[in-house]
Amino acid sequence: MTEILTMIGIENATKVIAWVLAFISVSAITVSLVTEGLKSIKWINRFPTKLVCYVVAITLTTPMMLALMAYMKVPVEWYMVFASFLASFVVAKVSMSGWDDVNELCKRLFRTK
């Protein structure tokens, strides 16, 4: 890890971390919205929401990473595609627990009798 930070420079490391966090956040929001939209379709609603969320995350994360790399004008390497595949599981987990946390918070704040 220190070799990578030395190679890219410490000032660039903070930029990379910020871009990664922003990418995961935007991807998680997108995956959450798409999953909720897909769950309104009757035949998709038969499947567990977590399964649909994982499939949507795996499907959307790599194209979103490719779009980000095109926006940043950075050439895409094979390990970036592999890393985006691995990041899709993090994105799915953030998406799933994010909705659960919001739902729990709403239940606590707006209790109905």
| Domain range list for the chain | 2-109
Q: What is the pLDDT of residue 36?
A: 86
- H-type helices in the chain, by residue range? 2-8, 10-38, 49-72, 78-109
The region of weakest confidence among 5-9, 48-52, 68-72 is 5-9
**pTM of the prediction?**
0.73
Q: What is the pLDDT of residue 20?
A: 83
pLDDT higher than 70, residue 110: yes
Quick: pLDDT tens for 22-47: 888 899 989 989 988 888 888 888 88
Q: What is the pLDDT of residue 112?
A: 61
Buried b (16+ CB within 10 A) or exposed e, 72-108: eeeeeeeebeeebeebbeebbebbbeebeeeeeeeee
- 78 contacts 66 by C-beta, under 8 angstroms: no
